[in-house]
Amino acid sequence: MILSDRIRFVGVNDFRTRLFEHQWPLPFGVSYNSYLVIGEKVALIDTAAASFKDEFLNNIKDEIGDRKVDYLVVNHMEPDHSALQAAVRAEYPECTIVTNAKAVPMIEGYQGLTENILTVKEGETLDLGGITLQFFMVPMVHWPETMVTWCLEENTLFSGDAFGSFRAVKDCVIDSESGTFEEYKDEMTRYYASIVGKYGTPVQNALKKLEGLEIKRICSTHGPVWENSVSQVVGLYDRLSKYEVSHGVCLAYGSMYGNTEKAAQALAKALESRGIPCVLHNLTEEDYSFALRDVFNYDTVILGSPTYNNGIFPPVRQFMQAICDRQVKGRRFLAFGSFTWAAASVKLLNSMAEEGGFVLLGEGVTFKQGFSAEKFDAEALAALV
């Protein structure tokens, strides 16, 4: 697929995989993006997942015919982008792998390749004959070997997983025709929150390193090619990596027999009556990545959990741990939940929130056994927000 006279898209869509990394649901699929940069010589930027070998190699041949791939640039070694390196080398035996020193042992470990590897350093360039690639290291966005590739003449950034998104692309991968920024924004935020969210500082470091580039096109490894939404995409990553949010509530809960659920619904209604944006998530029915997305959107987290085995109900505990693991900063926190004979969940959630540096909006509310409006004053809790 032609992006310009000198850049082609050769990636693939995946509508078969149910869980990305065997963790994150893909209701709209995902793409594994790869690109050709064509000068007197041809460079392939990253590959694709192993199950798409034939389609991927055919995509390359459709674009360059009998020409050979002279270079394979490895920006990131995660297997959804690196699994076909050996297949590319088998198809194009003289192909030189171009990467940084941290990726070299990973290439050997995953693909068994040790020969004909060109190791590049920060700012070094590769002349393809009429078009130039330059390499910048962006460690821990989100693996230690990660780098990005800048195409000088095309003002194009091959960004690896940075600026990526869940959601497959349409027949034309460019954002104006594949889908608007607003169409991808939620899945882009969920991708960031699930996979990159812990690494806010490295993302900020990368953005500062790249801010002097006049970027006209972003070619990520997942989602559309950004040509018409570059400023919005970079702005979203800047906001997410600074943990900046809007005022609102991510209200999530788990419930065994419906009492904590009734409390969550009452609280959501009370927040709505006050005009406070609120998104309600049932953690027993919905993957927690959707709630995690809204932790990165809003300044307040409210969690509801019954006491279970003198602890936090497992789906809620898993979600709370995921928030803490991502070192989310600057959130306000409130807990509530039911119990039968021993109240523990709210106290334990508050403890995790305090350890995570959250601001508690009160001690929270526990109510014994069945739900009633007398036991759970939703209006009083909403007033704290």
Per-residue pLDDT of the chain (385 residues; tens, 9 = 90+): 889 999 999 999 999 999 999 999 999 999 999 999 999 999 999 999 999 999 999 999 999 999 999 999 999 999 999 999 999 999 999 999 999 999 999 999 999 999 999 999 999 999 999 999 999 999 999 999 999 999 999 999 999 999 999 999 987 899 877 678 999 999 999 999 999 999 999 999 999 999 999 999 999 999 999 999 999 999 999 999 999 999 999 999 999 999 999 999 999 999 999 999 999 999 999 999 999 999 999 999 999 999 999 999 999 999 999 999 999 989 999 999 999 999 999 999 999 999 999 999 999 999 999 999 999 999 999 999 9
CATH for 246-384 (3.40.50.360, 1.10.760.10, 3.60.60.10, 1.10.3720.10): 3.40.50.360
Residue 249 parent element (H or E): strand 246-253
Residues of the chain with CATH 3.40.50.360: 246-384
The DSSP bridge partners found for residue 308 are 311
The residue type of 335 is: A
Question: Which homologous superfamily does the CATH classification assign to the domain defined by 7-241?
Answer: Ribonuclease Z/Hydroxyacylglutathione hydrolase-like (3.60.15.10)
- Pairing type for strands 71-73 and 96-99 reads parallel
Report helix, strand or coil for 267: helix
Question: What is the spatial distance between Cα 86 and Cα 109, in angstroms, rounded to a whole number?
Answer: 12
pTM to 2 decimals? 0.94
Which residue in the block uniquely carries the two structure tokens 């000198």? 6
C-alpha span between 55 and 51 (Å, rounded): 9
Which ranges in the chain are annotated with CATH 3.60.15.10? 7-241
Q: Given the DSSP bridges, would you call strands 125-127 and 12-14 parallel, antiparallel or unpaired? A: unpaired
Q: Is the Cβ–Cβ distance between 252 and 263 less than 8 Å?
A: no
SS (H, E, C) 48-64: CCHHHHHHHHHHHHHHH
Enclosing H/E stretch for 126: strand 125-127
Number of continuous H segments (helices) and E segments (strands) in the chain: 13, 23
